[in-house]
């Protein structure tokens, strides 16, 4: 798999994308998300599991929200399944208030995702948060999630994406 380890920032938050979103990565994510092949979830981070655990030690994983209807249909949340391999606490703190699929939106409308995200339950502002996502295209979901967490007083946020459109 073609690692890119692309480092960048969103809202002054340090971010890392591991793979380029194409070829085998694109096909594997499709098999996981659309066809429900849950066994594939382990392949994305397995080879670099120890590095990531060291890099993000002390962080709590917060997945970006996916469509609840898709999670229900496939029987699992694909982002949570991918990041389980890190053996770190996972807390789905952010959810969507309505069905909204970013890939169905025109690029200039994707920032509207900020209007449909909400925080679930209490947030410990001292907790270090690792926001995780499977595919980063425009970064609008991550940007909106960062702003929500900052409103809750969270100071230490990092982002880890499995893949990024390059």
Q: What is residue 115's predicted lDDT score, i.e. its pLDDT?
A: 73
CA distance 135 to 132: 9
Per-residue confidence (pLDDT) for residue 81, from 0 to 100? 96
Could you read off the pLDDT of 1-17 as tens digits, one per residue? 668 899 999 999 999 99
pLDDT reported for residue 116: 75
The domain defined by 3-164 carries CATH number 1.20.120: no
Answer with the residue of higher pLDDT: 45 or 103.
45
pLDDT, residue 131, reads 98
pLDDT score recorded for residue 158: 98
pLDDT reading at 117 higher than 60: yes
pLDDT of residue 101: 57
Distance CA 166, CA 145 (A): 22
Q: What pLDDT does residue 111 have? A: 54
- DSSP string of 48-101, one letter each residue: GHHHHHHHTTTEEEEEPP--HHHHHHHTS-HHHHHHGGG---B---EEESS---
Q: Are 55 and 78 in contact (CB under 8 A)?
A: no
């Amino acid at each position: 798999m073609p690692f890119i380890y692309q480092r960048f920032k969103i809202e002054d938050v340090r971010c890392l994308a591991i793979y380029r979103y194409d070829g085998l990565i694109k096909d594997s994510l499709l098999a996981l998300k659309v066809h429900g092949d849950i066994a594939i979830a382990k392949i994305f981070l397995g080879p670099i599991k120890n590095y990531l655990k060291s890099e993000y030690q002390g962080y709590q994983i917060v997945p970006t929200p996916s469509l609840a209807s898709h999670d229900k249909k496939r029987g699992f949340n694909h982002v949570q399944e991918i990041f389980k391999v890190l053996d770190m606490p996972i807390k789905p703190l952010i959810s969507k208030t309505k069905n909204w699929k970013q890939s169905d939106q025109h690029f200039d409308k994707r920032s509207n995702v900020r209007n449909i995200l909400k925080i679930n339950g209490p947030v410990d502002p001292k907790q270090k948060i690792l926001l995780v996502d499977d595919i980063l295209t425009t970064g609008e979901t991550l940007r909106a999630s960062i702003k929500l967490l900052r409103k809750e007083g969270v100071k230490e946020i990092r982002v880890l994406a499995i893949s990024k459109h390059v």
